[in-house]
A and B are shown apart, each in its own frame.
Chain A
């Protein structure tokens, strides 16, 4: 049975690596994002790397009125329908502190936008009784930190949403994987001081494919971030509030 993957936020580093891994498996790809020329480049690349088809689709997390058409189009294919969500935005916390209206955009990009898209996809998967959704959250969502608590809050919201969606779709035979990557070597982290144990997008993509194949529920990737976050979560609040980790 062939597969179709809707990749939301496809031009990000991890999404690109993931799309290529999918392409090598001969799937049909719907590559969603804002940067049309880049999406087209990626589509050509994925086709040459073995994708059955690859289509660039305009998507803006802040324009939900377009979502229905996007899902309808992907649902035309009779193959197993899947989605992987990589969108999110992380302006510097200091920029948000100076201009609180930025919060709305972060929440839309990282949480409510993708949630509204998945909300439209969910009934399709329920009806078909198959399919996998990979939702990429972040370790930043595990605890609010001084450095990026708005982004963290959005990702935490998204993780909670995914947990509920898993509960819902699991009953119908579809599956939801929540992924929490640690530091990944992407344009978002390039040149930021204090990065450590940085993983390559290719390694993350491989772990996503594995997690989807094995129907894992929540994964940290690379795996050791589960333990790092376990420690961070277990720091009592009266101490944590004084830290700037």
Chain B
């Protein structure tokens, strides 16, 4: 296998590393590569921090074939490199879709499992890993085994959300859900402040819910934004068209406070005061940012961090207010800030979701970002919350045990599966996730 020297960047672009990458296109090439240099697998590189960064890595995106599909039960077997939008485009016309879809259709099946991702319907459907029937896993010695919750409960739960630490996810069997229609009926309305937002979420019975926050708003306007509630409407499925791309990195001032304020004002005023209803094609509703390829270049070369945490219900109101104030007064806010409700569903030991509210904020990578991120991480920990490792670029290793209560079980399983730490990534090293003394 030829290795390609390339710079690996997280999607946020704040963390990078010179790396050597293999990209097998055949199963035998994968086996040979791993035998030559045991190293972690990476997918679409849509995690924001350093989850998909390592000195050596195997790019799985060309192992993206569909293996089998049972049209009675909806069980799909596919290679790890297949993308979520590929699954949607192929199966929605037949009436099936992934039960859980992350915010980008570019994410791979393997990546969705390794991060146990969630969607806008988490309360209803749980996390991605809860729909995985089994995983074909390759150990550092090249041996493969099929694992499921029944056959190997511990190893399976260490693999779901396991950041690739238990082995290379070669393929997986996923229960697809019925896809009732090609369009979503979306109701959008403006929300005046944080309290109203939390009330609106509590009162909402919609299948799909997502809130957009104006992170430049302060004082009495703190926490204002737009709430989207949606359910399946009608109409046939129309596959996504090829999207337009941001051709180059924008200059740094593109995300300066006045521009973000102006954008947020326009974005809010789009929605009439009385709210509005409209129908959106599935991919436009589920993957709004996929319409613009390389949108991360809008932040310029220095990139950005994404902070995402989940906070338990009782602590959420007070902590969210502190977090929003901290971001608003930092001047580092970007237009991309999301508030969602999460249910309790989680598939693995290191899964992110817990019952409560999740906040995701993009933060421009300026020198002052470090202090802000440290403050946000601290607030999340103090509230008994959890930071999402698929997004993280700034957590302190010391916070990890408090946030991830099954960390010790995970470490034990990962060490059994990968005794030499061959699958360690930059994220895993930075946060000492494998637990070296």
A residues contacting B by CB (< 8 A) are 11, 13, 16, 35, 37-38, 41-42, 44-45, 48-49, 186-187, 190-192
Specify the main secondary structure of chain B where it touches its partner. mixed
User: In the bound complex, how far is the Cα of B93 from the Cα of A48, in angstroms?
Assistant: 12
User: Residues of B contacting A191 with CB < 8 Å?
Assistant: 2-5, 21
A56 to B: closest C-beta gap in Å: 13
Is the Cβ of A48 less than 8 Å from the Cβ of B69?
A: yes
Q: Is B131 an interface residue (CB 8 A)?
A: no
A-B contact pairs, 28 of them (CB 8 A): A11-B25, A11-B26, A13-B25, A13-B62, A35-B28, A37-B27, A37-B28, A38-B26, A38-B27, A41-B27, A41-B65, A44-B67, A44-B68, A45-B66, A45-B67, A48-B66, A48-B68, A48-B69, A48-B90, A49-B66, A49-B90, A187-B29, A187-B62, A190-B4, A190-B23, A191-B3, A191-B5, A191-B21
User: In the bound complex, how far is the Cα of B4 from the Cα of A226, in angstroms?
Assistant: 28
List the 8 shortest-distance A-B pairs measured between CB atoms, nearest first.
A191-B4, A45-B65, A191-B2, A48-B66, A187-B25, A45-B66, A38-B26, A41-B65
User: In the bound complex, how far is the Cα of B66 from the Cα of A190, in angstroms?
Assistant: 24
Is the Cβ of B26 less than 8 Å from the Cβ of A35?
A: yes
Total interface residues in chain B, CB < 8 Å? 19
Which residue of chain B has its CB nearest to the CB of A38? B26
Is the Cβ of A44 less than 8 Å from the Cβ of B66?
A: yes
User: Residues of A contacting B24 with CB < 8 Å?
Assistant: 187
User: Residues of A contacting B21 with CB < 8 Å?
Assistant: 191
Which residue of chain B has its CB nearest to the CB of A12? B25
Which residue of chain B has its CB nearest to the CB of A41? B65
User: In the bound complex, how far is the Cα of B62 from the Cα of A38, in angstroms?
Assistant: 13
User: Residues of B contacting A49 with CB < 8 Å?
Assistant: 66, 90
User: Residues of A contacting B67 with CB < 8 Å?
Assistant: 41, 44-45
Q: Give B180-196 as 1s and 0s: 1 = Cβ < 8 Å from A's Cβ atoms.
A: 00000000000000000
Given known contacts A41-B67, A48-B68, A191-B2, what 20 new A-B pairs fall within 8 Å (CB)?
A11-B26, A13-B25, A37-B27, A37-B28, A38-B27, A41-B27, A42-B65, A45-B65, A45-B66, A45-B67, A48-B66, A48-B69, A49-B90, A186-B25, A187-B24, A187-B29, A190-B4, A190-B23, A191-B3, A192-B2
User: In the bound complex, how far is the Cα of B395 from the Cα of A38, in angstroms?
Assistant: 42
Most chain A beta-carbon neighbours within 10 Å: one of B5, B26, B28, B69:
B26
B409 to A: closest C-beta gap in Å: 35
B393 to A: closest C-beta gap in Å: 28
Q: Give B1-35 as 1s and 0s: 1 = Cβ < 8 Å from A's Cβ atoms.
A: 01111000000000000000101111111000000
Residues 33-80 of B at the A interface (beta carbon under 8 Å)? 62, 65-69
